[in-house]
Structure 1
Amino acid sequence: MFRRLATLIVKELQNLFRHPQSARMLIVPVIIQLIIFPLVATMEVKNCTLGIYNEDAGTTANELVQRLAASPYMHRVETYYNDDDVRNALDRQDVMLVVKIPPDFSARLARGETARLQGLIDGRRSNSAQIAFGYVNTIIQNMNAELVPNLPIATAIVTRSLYNPSLEYRWFILPGLVALISSMSCLMITTLSLAREKEEGTYEQLLVTPLSIFQIMIGKTVPAIIVALAQGTIITIGAVWLYGVPFDGSLAVMYGAMLLFALAMSGIGIFISSLCNTQQQAFIGTFCFLVPAIVISGLLSPVANMPAFLQHCTQWNPLTHIIHIVQGIFLKGYGLEQIGMQLRQLALIACITLSISYLVMKKQSGT
């Protein structure tokens, strides 16, 4: 029995490493994840951009501003001079939180009264914003401790979260799942479809049919898009009706963005499958792309936390753009004007990936 078992194990290992593509696809993902996970997968918030709206010209207020700006966790500090600038900065996600210092802050502390600050938090990034707010609160409490001998009444800070008042984490994660689940299904369907044709020996028969390469790509892409849109619809309905996540945007805009996203993912899936000869290789290739794409998408940790070279890589990651689009449509009511740049990037990625896939398939067909 053990001999037969050992023979089976050896045979499976031989099949696994018989093709050079399989060996590479087993090694490369490990290397990629080894590089990316320590840099990206962390709950610590670094390189945080803090906004300050200081209405007080007093000494204590200026000292607080200097302490906040000197914090090692604050990568950049933006100064604002009116409420409209503060709201626009939060709308554009230029800052994660804003500390507003009222005009009587220094005067109240000088009189020994409680001085209040206002913290405006971007509720769309509730977890990261709360961590960043904890850093700010620590700085304020340290300043209070130094003021205690003369001013026994501590400073109090009042917070208000925008777009997610109750800081429900499901409001953040469920819109992201619309993109995540759709990407997985779209990629798997297109990748395994062509690989299955090759494995069963019908790929060459498909190429000699009257169908052109372009028509074959359409036939492989359309079912994946339909499934992706159907799954996105189911998750959207569940998020709104079961979990109470607000949907403030346009369904037409969201489906248009999902269509571009599905085209981009289908192009990637067809390209992966064109390089594989078996479904096993295709599955490993999908895993090789999908896991790093999810990690650097901004769904698990903020893009601003990543090294500069990875932040540039995220611009070519379809998941990064669709997650920003879907969360904005759900929570902020984004329209075409707010997501125009992301839509153009998705369209560009779709054109590039589909074009490369077409050229690879055309070369393989010998036409």
Structure 2
Amino acid sequence: MALPVVYTLEDCADFTKTVQPFLPQLYDLPSRLLDVFAGRETLLRLYTETNPLVSGFALSLLAGAVLLVVAEINSNYSQVDRCWSILPTLFIAHFDAWARLSGISAQRIDAVLLFSTIWSIRLTFNYWRKGGYGVGHEDYRWEIVRRQVPKAVFHVFNWTFISFYQCILLYLISAPIYSILLASTIEPNVTTGDLASLTIQLGLILTEYIADEQQWAFQSAKKQYLSSAKVPRGFKQADLDRGFIVSGLWGYSRHPNFAAEQSIWFVLYQWSCYATRTVYSWAGFGPLLLIMLFQGSTWLTELITAGKYAEYGEYQRRVGTFAPARFWAYETPAPRAPRIIRTSELAKRQQQKEKEKERQGKQK
């Protein structure tokens, strides 16, 4: 049996009924795969008879193993970064394909796959134009981490966190779709709540797009300014000299794109809660881990940025990390006017010094 028998929508979010009974299938997968290679079983039968949550997790482990080998061979540890924008959508497509092969209505899963595909296209394009898929490109933060720890420790870090943990995390943030799949066996049609969730997701993707476009335009203008010493149209020299963007969405949040990214996967989790009529469920574990990952990643990014730009500390003080801290946008603090010391003040200081000397002389 590949799916649990559920009678209510609430049952679809019950870990003990929908996840725990199928964990042994993960242990049986290697032997069943050997049967497939030996011709004793077909791959299609194995796929449809295995719980989709279990087979999806196995796919994430396979992805981690492949990316680990590629990273070690090339001594380049941005292999997961290259797949970050693609893997969650592939995992969701896996659930969609499994539902169709098993004769389960995929209308609601299609809605999730729609937003995820748009998310993948946007993020993949943004990563590509930044040179992320160029030969030898690697996230600059990995080099900084590599310099701080022994070589052997970094290899262990790659084997655990960079390759496997991140692939598993990308699977877990897409795993709430499993609850939606189960709910589709009871309530197969797209509901108003599904359309509302889809609309919110598209709005968050649009927010990410706007934030990234604003940052791209600023960085492109800064690059042009540094190479030609000419200020591009639409920008101010003072802003480019500052070195980092504080306009648009960035005037209210230091990382509006990060905020939208975390919200997207939290909303997917909430979507699954709506589909199963629950307030919370085990499916929130993945989004929680993602939010924790963003805290560490953002801290490291800001530590590096604050060391490069003098005004960044003031920007941190006035603007919230993800959510706005104030109702008004950030403005560069006005430079303090130099204090003018009048001649009369200098004379008074001189007189005070002379009186102090006389007093000390009398005491002697």
**Per residue, is there more strand in 1 or in 2?**
1
Report the TM-score when normalising by structure 2: 0.31
Decide which structure has the larger Cα Rg and report it: 2
TM-score, structure 1 normalization = 0.31
Higher share of residues assigned helix: 2
